[in-house]
């Protein structure tokens, strides 16, 4: 029970926004406790899998019941991304103890970050087209609604009968953070009372993304799939593509207190900016700017941050540039510990930031920081003070979550342990 004297406005006079539920599916489990347990145990969720036209590749796959919350008929009509979104949305609402029967569904918004969408369905249609002598009469009449960009969020509203706003946020691999930021902004604008916000990705179901990374020389590989993704390691050789999703229930603190909701954390700062320098190569200067402006919004110093969750994809230059940026901002902070999650679950693209935050969020209650995976020999250019290779015990109250993406989009999100 929280005090009736709790201030529901922040120092800027804006509504405080809190996380009251989490629903996810990942290569390491289908709930935040399961994901957390496997991260602390040092398990890898990466396997070898046969991908059309690519053969055997390392990949992160999710295993959940696609028809737990929808009929087989609707699943057949919809998409893999939609199935992930529907599962995560239901799990998030259950976690937050929200029944849509008891609230105004027109005041619920759905804001999902994505990298790309519709590639799986398009590739499957083209494959069938070529298997049938280019007979376009066989092209599915479901193709258009399956491939419009708002489909994953829209499938959630159809499934749950939500009549508030829904859309996706195309923000490359920064999309998970941007989904949360959008949800927070819409709550502060008073447009909705509940936001289902986060990120999803179906990328592991398409061959195109594997082929593109392979052509760039950036597709992670190893005889042992658990070692195919090894961010910050000297021998890293690229990205392991994963699928997954993570959706949070966000509410204004005032509303959460009124219904005596479980409160997992508070969003206290964020920033998003653009490099404006290259299609793929990151710009450490803009990343530094992004983190510092997020810190300024949160009214905290770098030395107040307990965990920096790095984007750390496992590409040579991407890791080095980010380490330069993180080192610049946090080099004088003895308190700050640094970790990364993609060594365990691969790169879940649009879901990455949201899933990686979920992997660290339990630090507020179990006073433990999960380590990294796959670092046998640390790249000297990635040797950051505070880098946490093995899990360690430490009380935590502030997390900075970094997610960066192609076309130079950067996002930093700061989450605080809730204190009334």
Q: Are residues 99 and 248 in the same domain?
A: yes
Q: Which residues of 236-251 are buried (b: 16+ CB within 10 A; e: fewer)?
A: bbbbbbbbbbbbbbbb
Last residue of a domain, one of 258, 289, 307: 258
Q: Are residues 85 and 127 in the same domain?
A: yes
Q: How many folded domains does the chain comprise?
A: 2
Q: Are residues 120 and 155 in the same domain?
A: yes
Return the CATH number at 164.
3.40.47.10
Last residue of a domain, one of 258, 287, 314: 258
In a domain, 65, yes or no: yes
Q: Are residues 284 and 380 in the same domain?
A: yes
Which pair of tokens denotes residue 152? 């994953």
β-pairing, 108-114 with 194-201?
Answer: parallel
d(CA 23, CA 358): 9
Domain that holds residue 149: 17-258
Backbone angles phi, psi at 323, to 5 degrees: -65, -40
Residue 69 CB contacts under 8 Å (≥ 6 apart), including other chains: 86, 87, 90, 159
In tens digits, what is the pLDDT along the chain, a chain of 420 residues?
A: 455 578 999 988 999 999 999 999 999 999 999 999 999 999 999 999 999 999 999 999 999 999 999 999 999 999 999 999 999 999 999 999 999 999 999 999 999 999 988 888 889 889 989 999 899 988 888 999 999 999 999 999 999 999 999 999 999 999 999 999 999 999 999 999 999 999 999 999 899 999 999 999 999 999 999 999 999 999 999 999 999 999 999 999 999 999 999 999 999 999 999 999 999 999 999 999 999 999 999 999 999 999 999 999 999 999 999 999 999 999 999 999 999 999 999 999 999 999 999 999 999 999 999 999 999 999 999 999 999 999 999 999 999 999 999 999 999 999 999 987
Q: Are residues 291 and 400 in the same domain?
A: yes
Tell me what pLDDT residue 1 has: 47
In a domain, 11, yes or no: no
Q: Are residues 280 and 315 in the same domain?
A: yes
Last residue of a domain, one of 258, 287, 304: 258
In a domain, 143, yes or no: yes
Compute the 3-state secondary structure of the chain and give helix, strand, coil in percent, each to the nearest 5: 40, 25, 35
Q: Are residues 109 and 229 in the same domain?
A: yes
Neighbours of 126 (CB within 10 A): 12
Q: Are residues 252 and 315 in the same domain?
A: no
Neighbours of 289 (CB within 10 A): 18
Tell me what pLDDT residue 5 has: 72
Q: Are residues 279 and 300 in the same domain?
A: yes
Q: Are residues 292 and 360 in the same domain?
A: yes
Q: Are residues 206 and 127 in the same domain?
A: yes
Q: Are residues 236 and 370 in the same domain?
A: no
In a domain, 406, yes or no: yes
Reduce the DSSP state of residue 305 to 3 states and report it. Answer: coil
In a domain, 332, yes or no: yes
């Amino acid at each position: 029970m929280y005090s009736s004297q709790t201030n529901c406005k922040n120092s800027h006079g804006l509504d405080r926004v809190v996380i009251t539920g989490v629903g996810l599916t990942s290569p390491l489990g289908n709930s935040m406790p399961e994901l957390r347990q496997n991260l602390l145990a040092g398990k890898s969720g990466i396997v070898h899998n046969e991908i059309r036209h690519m053969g055997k590749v390392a990949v992160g796959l999710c295993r959940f019941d696609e028809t737990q919350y929808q009929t087989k008929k609707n699943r057949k009509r919809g998409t893999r991304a939609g199935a992930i979104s529907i599962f995560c949305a239901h799990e998030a609402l259950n976690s937050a103890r929200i029944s849509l029967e008891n609230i105004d569904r027109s005041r619920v918004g759905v804001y999902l970050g994505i990298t790309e969408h519709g590639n799986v369905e398009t590739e499957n249609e083209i494959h069938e087209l070529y298997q049938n002598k280019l007979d376009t009469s066989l092209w599915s009449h479901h193709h258009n609604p399956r491939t419009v960009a708002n489909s994953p969020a829209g499938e959630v509203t159809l499934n749950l009968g939500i009549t508030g706003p829904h859309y996706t946020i195309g923000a490359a691999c920064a999309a998970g953070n941007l989904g949360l930021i959008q949800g927070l902004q819409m709550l502060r604008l008073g447009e909705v009372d509940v936001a289902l916000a986060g990120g999803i990705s179906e990328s592991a179901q398409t061959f195109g993304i594997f082929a593109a990374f392979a052509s760039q020389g950036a597709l992670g590989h190893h005889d042992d799939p658990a070692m195919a993704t090894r961010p910050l390691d000297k021998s890293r050789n690229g990205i392991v593509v994963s699928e997954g999703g993570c959706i949070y229930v966000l509410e204004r603190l005032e509303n959460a207190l009124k219904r005596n909701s479980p409160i997992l954390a508070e969003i206290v700062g964020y920033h998003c900016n653009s490099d404006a320098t290259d299609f793929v190569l990151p710009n450490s200067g803009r990343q530094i700017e992004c983190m510092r402006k997020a810190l300024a919004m949160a009214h905290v110093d770098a030395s107040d941050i307990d965990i920096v969750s790095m984007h750390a994809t496992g590409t040579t230059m991407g890791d080095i540039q980010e380490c330069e940026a993180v080192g610049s901002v946090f080099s004088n902070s003895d308190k700050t510990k640094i970790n990364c999650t993609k060594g365990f679950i691969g790169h879940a693209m649009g879901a990455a930031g949201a899933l990686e935050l979920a992997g660290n969020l339990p630090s507020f209650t179990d006073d433990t920081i999960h380590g990294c995976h796959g670092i046998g020999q640390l790249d000297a250019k990635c040797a950051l003070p505070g880098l946490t290779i093995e899990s360690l015990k430490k009380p935590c109250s502030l997390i900075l979550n970094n997610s960066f993406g192609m076309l130079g989009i950067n996002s930093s999100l700061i989450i605080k342990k809730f204190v009334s």
